[in-house]
């Protein structure tokens, strides 16, 4: 039998497998995204009953098998049950889990992505923060962590540095900002306000612990949504179920 592995992670997905078992997908710091089977976890007296649930964050003890793991113990630090008590927050949370699952890979370094997911789920529990802004921040920072960040500091056409407050445009096709000259003739180029660009630059570069430390005016939030949501959609090829529910709820 393989050695017992202790992995720090957050549960992305938990689904029934057989009569009493569950298949659990966990984003871990040490091994990336793994699939683990929890035997007998659906029995009422199982010590893993609550641990094998979406959003559970902590240390998971597993044995590695052929392509899968067996979950045998868990020490959960946060269950984030409060999120599931509000339907809208729950849908945002499940969307964030789905996006992490989409990009997660086994055997890769997922420390930053796991940390991002953790601080984002915590942000959902803060009633002072707008869930719409949380989604914008999470989507753009996910693009950063996946090496898909749009160019936000230089013109993608001529590579000229764009300073704060300078007029510029954002192009989805060019994956970033354009100066006024390079924006000419680009049909999808749309003017981006200095406030929206500043916010995007902050999201892309801020320390993880400071990501959710700011707010924006309603018109800036709308601008961020229009740019970031489309950019995220163009860099993924999956229809996320929870996101579809959120769109219906608007």
pLDDT-based confidence at 159, cuts 50/70/90? very high
pLDDT in tens, 166-191: 999 999 999 999 999 999 989 999 99
Nearest-Å Rg of the Cα atoms of the chain is 20
What pLDDT score was predicted for residue 148?
Answer: 97
Spatial distance between the Cα atoms of 245 and 62, rounded to a whole number of angstroms: 34
Q: How confident is the model at residue 250 (pLDDT cuts 50, 70, 90)?
A: confident
pLDDT at res. 67: 75
Give the best-scoring range by mean pLDDT among 11-25, 48-62, 140-154: 140-154
Tens digit of pLDDT for each residue in 76-85?
999 998 998 9
- Residues 72-126: tens digit of each pLDDT: 999 999 999 899 899 999 999 999 999 999 999 998 889 999 999 999 999 999 9
What tokens does 189 get?
């180029």
Express the helix, strand and coil content of the chain in percent, nearest 5 each: 40, 25, 40
CA 242-36-107 angle, to 5 degrees, is 90
Q: Which H or E element spans position 13?
A: strand 4-17
The pLDDT assigned to 3 comes to: 84
Average pLDDT over residues 141-153: 97
Over 70: is that where the pLDDT of 1 sits? Answer: no
Claim: this prediction has a pTM higher than 0.85: yes
In our burial notation (b when 16+ CB lie closer than 10 A, e otherwise), range 79-106 reads bbeebeeeeebbbbbbbbbbbbeebbee
How far CA 124 is from CA of 83, 106, 120, 234, in Å, comes to 7, 27, 6, 25
Alpha-carbon distances of 68 from 18, 32, 34, 212, rounded to whole Å: 16, 13, 7, 35
- pLDDT tens figures, 14-53: 999 988 899 999 999 999 999 999 998 888 888 888 889 9
């Amino acid at each position: 039998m393989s050695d017992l592995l202790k992995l720090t992670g957050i549960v992305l997905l938990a689904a029934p497998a057989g009569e009493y078992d569950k298949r659990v997908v966990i984003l871990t710091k040490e091994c990336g995204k793994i699939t683990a089977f929890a035997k007998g976890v659906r029995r009422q007296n199982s010590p893993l009953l609550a641990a094998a649930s979406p959003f559970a964050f902590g240390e998971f003890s597993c044995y590695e098998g052929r392509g899968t793991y067996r979950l045998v113990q868990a020490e959960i630090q946060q269950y984030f049950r409060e999120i599931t008590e509000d339907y809208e927050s729950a849908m945002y949370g499940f969307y964030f889990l789905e996006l992490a699952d989409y990009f997660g890979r086994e055997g890769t370094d997922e420390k930053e992505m796991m940390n991002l997911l953790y601080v984002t789920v915590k942000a959902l529990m803060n009633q002072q923060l707008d869930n719409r802004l949380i989604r914008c921040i999470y989507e753009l920072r996910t693009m950063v962590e996946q090496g898909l960040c749009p160019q936000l500091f230089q013109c993608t056409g001529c590579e000229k540095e764009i300073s704060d407050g300078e007029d510029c445009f954002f192009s989805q096709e060019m994956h970033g900002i354009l100066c006024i000259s390079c924006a000419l003739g680009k049909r999808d180029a749309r003017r981006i306000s200095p406030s929206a660009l500043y916010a995007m630059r902050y999201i892309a570069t801020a320390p993880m612990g400071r990501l959710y430390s700011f707010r924006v005016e309603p018109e800036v939030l709308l601008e961020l949504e229009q740019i970031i949501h489309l950019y995220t959609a163009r860099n993924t090829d999956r229809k996320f179920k929870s996101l579809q529910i959120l769109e219906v709820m608007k």
